[in-house]
Structure 1
Amino acid sequence: MKHLNKLFVAALLVVGLNVHAQDEDNPWAIGFGVNAVSTRFGAASKVEDQFGQYFNAKDQWNILPSVSYLTVSRAIGNNLSVGITGTVNKIDKVVSRTPGTNDYVITDPGDVTYYSADAIVKYGFLAKSWFNPYVHVGGGYTWLDEKGNGTLNGGIGVNFWFTENVGLTLQSTYKHTFEDQAEANVPKHIQHFAGLTFKFGGKDTDGDGIYDKDDACPETPGLKQFQGCPDTDGDGIPDAEDACPTVAGLKELAGCPDGDGDGVADKDDKCPTVAGPKENGGCPWPDTDGDGVLDKDDLCPSVKGTAANRGCPEVTEEVMKRLNEYARTILFNSGKATFKEETLPVLASMLSIFKEYPNASFSIEGHTDSDGSNALNQTLSENRAGAVKTFLVENGIAADRLTSIGFGETKPIVSNKTAKGKAQNRRVEVKLIKRE
């Protein structure tokens, strides 16, 4: 008996080293506990007698007050398992029936030692539940001291799982011998079992509680909700799908953080501490000239303007007055479209004003007095207006901002009858082209 107890202790140590969760992934099970044997079931002639004292005949049960059974089994799939059970007991109560009567007699056979070795096939129900009933069949051999008989076994049982791998097992097995009850070396009998069952044997390489067969990352500890794969930063996004696996982030940003809340992941954000649009790399749009119109919308980003003029300065009546005061003093060589030298400072002053309004467009208009033919005056006015435009373009004003036109002698502002009047009519005028 001492050696049997040592065997159970060794078995417990093995279980302790191999226990894992998830019963369906732990094909091996080991159980141990106590067993009780009663021969009344085989002695009874009627079904009601067989089951009438099934649990209540305490004085008829043979129980050894020690660990007295050990079973090892392995799951083979489809809720089936196979195993081997060894038991030991002391028989000091044998129930027999007086032939021809319903009277039962309990005798003491003299402290007989009971041994059995049985193969068992179990079919379980509610495999995923804490309550796991099963039926079983099998066969084996039972000895009473030196005498023995083969038995055909069957019965029921139930596991109550405290945890996913540790449970209480209760089982009842009927062992049938085919010899006459009175002549058999081992009478027909019922054997009850009560003990603990441990399941083990599943392979979990990374020790994360998810077995390799179900683990998408079997060599890296992970989480059950991600099939065993890790989420290092704990942001709910598995590392394999996380563009920033070591820093907690947002799902919509593939697991990367967004410190300024602008919807641009910090790793892609050129201004991670200041909110800005994605189109500008996560930075605020600049307003270089400080006029309240962002550079992206500002047609004059380096010159202060107005929102109404898309960030460009408005050309006021005062500005146009100044331009035309300069324009009227432009002097050309007589009958030509070339400038007199003293006119160059005037043209430079006009150029400066044009540059202040880079988004404005202007019409340069040339006019003559009435001397000479109409055709000659028309050509001269066109050429002189064109000369002013050419000067401005050559000095940095975009050509598409300027048009030039000549009106000849058709639009005098005073009479051409005097020399003074003619001088006033020989002029250049600047007009602002209004946008639609």
Structure 2
Amino acid sequence: MKHLNRLLVAAILFMGIGVANAQDENNPWAVEVGVNAVDVYSAGLNEDQVRIPAAARGDIFDEYFNANDHWNILPSVSRLAISRYIGSGFVFTAAGSINRIDKLGDLPADDLSYYSADGEVKYSFKNALGGGWFDPSIGIGGGYTWVDNIGFGTANALAGVKFWFNDYLALNLQSTYKHAFEDSYGITHFQHSAGIVFQFGGKDTDGDGIYDKDDECPETPGLPEFNGCPDTDGDGIEDRNDACPNTPGLAEFNGCPDTDGDGIADPQDECPTVAGLAALNGCPDADGDGIADKDDACPNEAGPKANNGCPYQDRDGDGVLDKDDQCPDVAGTVANKGCPEVSVEVIKQLNEYSKTILFDYDKSSIRKESYAALQSIADIMKEYPNTTFHVEGHTDSRGSDAYNMKLSKERAASVKDYLTTIGMDGNRLTSEGYGEERPIATNNTAAGRQQNRRVEISLKK
């Protein structure tokens, strides 16, 4: 009993290590608890093994099932094993057993102690036979056996069969032939065993109760009916096949909803909350002009696409339809695409104001008293939104040509820049300086030179 206790403690420790490792593996483990029987007689004749008298030896498999005369059985738990599925039908098993030898064949023995530790690699035919409860196997292995505290190594060949009661519990019947390597003190023998097998240790990464080996979505918690895959929105369509996995939908739309019921799934429906037409990607067309209401500037009045779905109008009454009118809110002329044309009188008025623009002496900076005139110029220009105006700078003849050219350019640019700061579009203004090249009066008198020092405004050609 003392030796049995030691074996149980060792087995429990071994099982604990195995379970700890199994938690990081994807294949199941199994523990077997059972009994074993040792038979020397049916292991065959081996004259070299001096520990076995001739009377204790028969032919190989002779009286193989003669349990009453030849089997040594300890009436208690005498065999413990732990196994791990390697893959492709192969299983590795580590087993330990104890027994008492009170007969060698037909001869009595002096109640010899028996201990063995074995490693086995077995191949299971269960999957090859289509699964089910019947699980035959064959295998090979090796181990070490002690009889009456004398140890020797063995080479093992085995055959067995498991009968599975469910996915976790089975009865295992096994017979192992153990060939002793040592002739002088080894004992070749059969060891038969019967035990209850409990399979465990399958990996369930996502914790959904379905082992990874059977889980088609092993890293995401799922449902048994979908082989471990989830149905996040609960619409009966698993996420892998659900085009809208987070929104309950219909099978006909691959799991997507049709909120407005127009027969177009929401992801393809540009107006998912309002019933519409397939031709307009699910959007309505209240006026029937072929333009979706969301893109129709006049959704309740039919109109051409060229006019944003509105009927053609002429808001400013200038004879140019709004669709062609570059200035639809200001009356203009047909020749000027619906915008007003700048007349000679307007240019004259602009230049009446420009004559009053004053600069600091010999500089391009505008004096404050000119700001009102510049505001009036800007107000007039804004009345002609498609017209580009040209600001010209001029000087008298005093000073060098180069200096006068530079000063005129700077003054023209200064006027242009100021006009942009009070609301004029800079793209509608250009500027240039002409120095003393274009006098409008004589430079021989002070009055003439003053007229030549000027800013003029013209239309850009």
- TM (normalized to structure 2)? 0.49
Describe how 1:30-429 pairs up with structure 2 within 5 A. Answer: 30-42=31-43, 50-51=60-61, 53-95=63-105, 105=106, 107-127=107-127, 129-130=131-132, 131-177=134-180, 185-199=185-199, 203-208=203-208, 218-222=218-222, 229-239=229-239, 242-258=242-258, 261-265=261-265, 277-279=277-279, 282=282, 286=286
The answer (yes or no) to whether the contact 2:44–2:59 under 8 Å persists in 1 is no
The answer (yes or no) to whether the contact 2:31–2:199 under 8 Å persists in 1 is yes
Alignment-mate amino acid for residue 37 of structure 1: V
Write out per-residue CA displacement over residues 27-72 of structure 1, whole angstroms, 9 at most, x where no aligned residue.
Answer: 6544332111122213679x99643532353353222233222233
The answer (yes or no) to whether the contact 2:43–2:59 under 8 Å persists in 1 is no
Change (3 A) 1:260 1:15: farther
CA distance in structure 2 between the partners assigned to 1:197 and 1:39 by the alignment: 26
The answer (yes or no) to whether the contact 1:152–1:176 under 8 Å persists in 2 is yes
CA distance in structure 1 between the partners assigned to 2:227 and 2:233 by the alignment: 17
The SS at the match of 2:61 is: helix
- The match for 1:342 is none
Tell me how far 1:286 sits from its aligned partner: 4.8
Tell me how far 1:172 sits from its aligned partner: 0.4
CA distance in structure 2 between the partners assigned to 1:51 and 1:266 by the alignment: 76
The answer (yes or no) to whether the contact 2:27–2:213 under 8 Å persists in 1 is no
Alignment-mate amino acid for residue 158 of structure 1: V
The SS at the match of 2:43 is: helix
The SS at the match of 1:40 is: coil
Alignment-mate amino acid for residue 36 of structure 1: A
Write out per-residue CA displacement over residues 278-324 of structure 1, whole angstroms, 9 at most, x where no aligned residue.
Answer: 3456577658xxxxxx7769xxx979xxxxxxxxxxxxxxxxxxxxx
CA distance in structure 2 between the partners assigned to 1:268 and 1:77 by the alignment: 47
The match for 2:7 among 4, 7, 15 is: 4
Change (3 A) 1:260 1:34: farther
The answer (yes or no) to whether the contact 2:41–2:58 under 8 Å persists in 1 is no
Tell me how far 1:225 sits from its aligned partner: 8.0
The answer (yes or no) to whether the contact 1:27–1:200 under 8 Å persists in 2 is yes
Write out per-residue CA displacement over residues 102-160 of structure 1, whole angstroms, 9 at most, x where no aligned residue.
Answer: xxx3x432322210122323233234623332212222222222223332221211233
The answer (yes or no) to whether the contact 1:15–1:198 under 8 Å persists in 2 is no
Structure 1 runs not aligned, ≥5 long = 96-104, 288-293, 304-357, 359-393, 397-436
The SS at the match of 1:150 is: strand
Question: Cα RMSD over matched residues?
Answer: 4.9
CA distance in structure 1 between the partners assigned to 2:28 and 2:34 by the alignment: 20
The answer (yes or no) to whether the contact 2:7–2:96 under 8 Å persists in 1 is no
Change (3 A) 1:78 1:242: closer
The SS at the match of 1:86 is: strand
CA distance in structure 1 between the partners assigned to 2:145 and 2:62 by the alignment: 25
The answer (yes or no) to whether the contact 2:140–2:157 under 8 Å persists in 1 is yes
Write out per-residue CA displacement over residues 332-387 of structure 1, whole angstroms, 9 at most, x where no aligned residue.
Answer: xxxxxxxxxxxxxxxxxxxxxxxxxx9xxxxxxxxxxxxxxxxxxxxxxxxxxxxx
CA distance in structure 2 between the partners assigned to 1:63 and 1:77 by the alignment: 34
CA distance in structure 2 between the partners assigned to 1:127 and 1:213 by the alignment: 14
CA distance in structure 2 between the partners assigned to 1:161 and 1:15 by the alignment: 22
The SS at the match of 2:113 is: strand
The answer (yes or no) to whether the contact 2:44–2:61 under 8 Å persists in 1 is no
Tell me how far 1:194 sits from its aligned partner: 1.6
Change (3 A) 1:232 1:42: same
Write out per-residue CA displacement over residues 200-230 of structure 1, whole angstroms, 9 at most, x where no aligned residue.
Answer: 5554421245666897755422357877542
Tell me how far 1:162 sits from its aligned partner: 3.7
CA distance in structure 1 between the partners assigned to 2:150 and 2:158 by the alignment: 24
The answer (yes or no) to whether the contact 2:37–2:71 under 8 Å persists in 1 is yes
Alignment-mate amino acid for residue 41 of structure 2: R
CA distance in structure 1 between the partners assigned to 2:19 and 2:180 by the alignment: 38
Change (3 A) 1:120 1:14: closer
Alignment-mate amino acid for residue 31 of structure 1: E
Structure 2 runs not aligned, ≥5 long = 46-53, 292-298, 302-310, 312-318, 322-461
Change (3 A) 1:57 1:83: closer
CA distance in structure 1 between the partners assigned to 2:189 and 2:262 by the alignment: 79
Alignment-mate amino acid for residue 148 of structure 2: D
